[in-house]
Amino acid sequence: MTVESATRRVVAEPTGPAREKAFAHALDVLRDRRDEFAQAHHVPRDYIDLLKKAGLYRASTPEQFGGEPMAPSDFMRRIEDISAVDPATGWVASFGSSLVYLAALPVQTQKKLFADGADLTYAGGLFPMHEAEKVDGGYLCTGTWQFASGCMGADILGIGLAGGPETEGKPITALVDPADVEIVDNWDVAGMKGTGSHAIRADRLFVPEEMTFIRGGASQIDEPLTRYPSLAYAAQVLAVVTLGAARGAIDFAITIGGANASITGGQAKGNRPAYKAGIARAEAELRSARAYFYEATDAVWAKAVADELITVDDQADLRLAATHAAHVGRSVVLQVFDVVGTGAIYANHPLQRYLQDALVPAQHAMLQTNTYEAVGALMLGLEAGIPSFP
C-alpha cells in the first residue's frame, strides 16, 4: 500500500459544543440502528463516519500530526457510553485508541499517514502470525489473519508477521490497504455480532518496510499518550466495553422494574425482594469495579503526563483492573438476567444484547482468567508466565 491511500476525508467537528452534539447524535443513531448492525455482522462505514465526527478517531493521533489525544479515562468513558447502548459498537469504537501502536512507525511514515487528516480508522488481524518473505525494500505477505474487529470500516489494516532475532522475538505489524486484501466473511458468533471481526487474506502482497513496525516496539513520538503502556491500554479499552454493557443492563432492569404487574398477574417485579436486592448488589459491584478501574488508569496517566517512570507494577495494576472490570461486568449482567426472569430468554428481548455481548470480553486473551494468575505471580516476585506481560 501507499500512505496516500490510507485516509478518508471525514473530519471531526470542532472541540466543544459541536463535538458534543456530534457524539450525542451518534448515540441517538445507534439506538435506532443497533439491530441492523448485529444483523449485518459489522458496523458500516457511514456510522464510523459519525464516530469520526465525534472525535473518536483522532483521540490517539499524536498532537504533532494534528491529533487531539484524549486522556485514557476520558476516551474510555466515551466507550462506556456507546457500550451502554450497544456493546458491539463500543468494541469497534474502542479501536479509536489503537493508533498508539502506529507511534512505533518511522516518523516520516507517520507524517505521511496523517498528512490528509488526523481521523484515521485502524483495524488489525494480527493472529496467527505468518512468516513473510523478506525482499528488497520490504516483505511479501501471504496468509489469513483472524479477528480483525472493525475491518469493514477501516481506512488501514494491520496484519501480523513473525519476528526474529532482530525484533527480540516480538511480532511485526505490516500496514496494508483494505483494497489490497480480501475480507473473509467468517464472523458467525453468538456475542459481539456487530463487531465484524472477520478474517483478512493476502497472497504475496508486497508491504514496504517503512509500513511495518514492531508491535510493542519503542515509540518514535514522545507525548503523554505514547508513554502510557500500550498493551495495557489495549486490554483496558476492551474491558470497559463490559462496564458499559453492565450499565445498560442495570438501567434496563430499573426501567422495567416499575411495571405495574408481572405476566402472571402477581406484584410488579421491581417490588419483589429478590429483584430489589439483586439490582442493588449489581449496582454496588459495578461501581466498585469501575472505581478501581479508573483509579488505576488515572494514577498511571499522571505519571505519563509528568514523564515519570511507569513501572512493571504500574502496568500490572492496569492489567489487573482491566481483567477485574471484564469479569465483574460479565457477572453483573448475569445477575440482572437472573432477576429479570423468564421473559429475558427470548431472542428478541432487549437484555439479550447485553447478555450475549458481555460474555465476550472476558474470553479475550488479554482478559482471560489466567491474567489474574499472571498479576498474582508478579506480586509474589515470580515470572508472569505469559509472553509480553504486563
pLDDT: which is higher, 109 or 167:
109
Residues 23-80 have pLDDT tens digits of 999 999 999 999 999 999 999 999 999 999 999 999 999 999 999 999 999 999 999 9
* pLDDT greater than 70 at residue 2: no
* 266, pLDDT greater than 80: no
The residue ranking higher by pLDDT, 256 or 18, is 18
Residue 249 is placed in which grid cell? 443492563
**Residue 262: per-residue pLDDT:** 61
Q: What is the pLDDT of residue 388?
A: 83
Beta-carbon contacts of residue 279 (< 8 Å; ≥ 6 apart): 250, 253, 254, 257, 336, 339
pLDDT band at 168, cuts 50/70/90? confident
7 has pLDDT over 80: no
Mean pLDDT of 233-244: 98
**Lowest model confidence (mean pLDDT) among 98-112, 257-271, 346-360:** 257-271
pLDDT at 1 over 70: no
Determine the length of the chain: 390
Return left, alpha or beta for 144; rule: phi > 0 is left, psi -120 to 50 is alpha, else beta: beta
**Cα distance between residue 276 and residue 241, in whole Å:** 25
% pLDDT > 70, the chain: 95
Domains in the chain and their CATH numbers?
Answer: 3-113 (1.10.540.10), 122-214 (2.40.110.10), 228-379 (1.20.140.10)
**Mean pLDDT throughout 264-284?**
87
Query: What is residue 259's predicted lDDT score, i.e. its pLDDT?
Result: 63
Q: Maximum distance among all alpha carbons in the chain?
A: 76
Q: Which residues pair with 213 in a beta bridge?
A: 173
- Residue 164 has a pLDDT of 84
pTM of the model: 0.95
Q: Which residues pair with 214 in a beta bridge?
A: 172
Q: Are 142 and 135 in contact (CB under 8 A)?
A: no
Higher pLDDT, 168 or 86: 86
Separation of alpha carbons 301 and 237, rounded Å = 14
pLDDT at 184: 98
At residue 265 the predicted structure's pLDDT band, cuts being 50, 70 and 90, is: low
pLDDT band at 268 (very low <50, low <70, confident <90, very high): confident
Band of pLDDT at residue 261, cut at 50, 70 and 90:
low
Mean pLDDT for 307-311 is 98
Q: What is the mean pLDDT of the chain?
A: 94
Q: 337 to each of 81, 90, 353, how far by Cα in Å?
A: 20, 21, 11
Q: Is the pLDDT of residue 324 over 60?
A: yes
| Residue-level pLDDT at 263 | 59
